[in-house]
Amino acid sequence: MKFSFGSDQLALAETLAEVLAKRCPPELVRAVWQSESGYSEELWEALGELGVLAVAVPEAYGGLGMNQVDLVKLLEESGRAAAPVPLLEHAGVGVPALAETTATELAEHWLPLAAAGEVIVTAAVPGSEHQGDGNTVVSLVSYAAQADLAILSCQGELFAVEQQNYQVQELESVDGSRRLGWVEWSPQDAFGLPGASSESVFERGVLAAAAQSIGVADHLLETTVAYVKEREQFGKPVGSYQAVKHHLADVAKAMGFARPSVYAAAWAVSQDTEKLTQQEQQKFVSAAKSLASDAADLAARKCLQCHGAIGYTYESDLHLWLKRAWSLSASWGDAHWHRRRLAGLLGI
């Protein structure tokens, strides 16, 4: 195990950061949140061109054949920019599941398209589905209305469902980047995904949410540090008050400790289960998510407080990141849920 990233990994992440800084300003995020389309098609295209969507696609299908370690910093950057695209669902969860299946026809058809960004693949939390009317299943899926293919589970089995085979009832989230919907579908109208496991889908989704969370929290901390240096009250910058300093020092500390654990979890889930058992991998993942969720929640709370009333308005961009932090911290299992899973894994 190495505790640092390779230069390829860093270069791609850096390039992505530059592209996002240029092409994904807060104005874009704000516009997409209020849009009909639900995501930025231009940005999606740019990510496709950059190769970001091809990272976890095997080379045989036009991808880069990389793994979760390569993805983690990309997801972190997308979180930092609050990028309004289904990167978590597509690159973090959907594509790796397709790459894993032994249903090669399915992979052959979808993966080259996915690598190029010509389609969107989404995925739901396995096990979150419930029984619908008749033979249908109902799953809570993000970007369901935007996706071409959804990776869904039913009783522990994974399925790939094409858009024309599911019905979406759209929901409203506090986070405009989360285009959630109840999806009604039937396993009869879906492709099985032999070889892909719902456990892996879950671990990867958790990891991706953790990675985005730390990017979001980083941005919150950075903008708040900048704000409290500028904003003056009682004749000096509010950032010179010890209470504000300690709020932000606590956020910095939480971030500083969550990040290496998220990277370690990315390493863990990219290991063969013969080298690192599934249970050991789960420990890494749950530890990372609990730390990242707590850090994001803390960042959201403290950064709003340090902004004061201005941060409580819709005009300020802060709320875009606050709401991303909340929804990411709660999705794919919140900190509590993951600590409970760890309790089981640790035998207590």
241 binds a copy of itself, rule: CB under 8 A: yes
Work out how close the CB of 25 gets to another protein at its nearest, in angstroms, rounded to a whole number: 19
- Smallest distance, Å, CB 238 to a copy of itself? 12
Applying CB under 8 A, among 66, 91, 123, 180 the residue interacting with another protein is 180
175 contacts another protein (rule: CB under 8 A): yes
**Residue where the block lists tokens 């979760």:** 68
Return the residue of 26, 62, 132, 195 that touches another protein, per CB under 8 A. Answer: 132
CA distance 317 to 93: 28
For position 208 contacting another protein by CB under 8 A, the verdict is no
Position 22 contacts another protein (CB under 8 A): no
**d(Cα 229, Cα 164) in Å, to the nearest integer?**
52
- Selected from 11, 14, 42, 253, the binder of another protein by CB under 8 A is 253
Of residues 37 and 340, the one with the C-beta less far from another protein: 340
Separation CA 127–CA 215 (nearest Å):
27
CA separation for the pair 261, 246 (Å, rounded):
23
> 208 contacts which partner out of another protein, a copy of itself, none, CB within 5 to 8 A by kind?
none
Question: For another protein, which residue of 15, 67, 165, 173 counts as binding (CB under 8 A)?
Answer: 173
Q: Which is nearer to another protein, 105 or 274 (CB)?
A: 274
Contacted by 18, from a copy of itself, another protein, none: CB < 5 to 8 Å by type: none
At closest approach, how far in Å is the CB of 290 from a copy of itself?
20
Number of residues that bind a copy of itself (CB under 8 A): 4
Closest CB 239 distance from a copy of itself, rounded Å: 13
Considering the complex, state which of residue 111 and residue 137 has its C-beta at the smaller distance from another protein. 137
Helix axes 242-269, 278-307, angle to 10 degrees: 160
Burial class (CB in 10 A: 0-12, 13-18, 19+), 252: middle
Site track for a copy of itself across 280-319, x = CB under 8 A: ----------------------------------------
What Å distances lie between residue 176 and 76, 305, 319, CA to CA? Answer: 19, 22, 11
| Closest listed residue to residue 91, CA positions, set 66, 116, 54 | 54
Concatenating the DSSP letter of every residue in 46-110 gives HHHHHTGGGTTS-GGGTS----HHHHHHHHHHHHHTT--S-HIIIIIIIHHHHHH-S-HHHHHHH
- Beta strand 149-154 with 180-185 is unpaired
Q: Which partner, another protein, a copy of itself, none, binds residue 313 by CB below 5 to 8 Å per kind?
A: another protein
Helix (H) or strand (E) holding 197, with range, is: none
> What, of a copy of itself, another protein, none, does residue 326 touch, CB below 5 to 8 Å by kind?
another protein
The CB-of-233 to a copy of itself minimum distance in angstroms stands at 13
Angle, alpha carbons 327-175-78 (nearest 5°): 75
Between 47 and 177, name the residue whose CB sits nearer to another protein: 177
For 218-264, the three-class secondary structure string (H helix, E strand, C coil) is: HHHHHHHHHHHHHCEECCEEHHHCHHHHHHHHHHHHHHHHHHHHHHH
Q: Total binding residues for another protein by CB under 8 A?
A: 94
Q: Whose Cβ is closer to another protein: residue 53's or residue 285's?
A: 285
Q: What is the DSSP letter of 132?
A: -
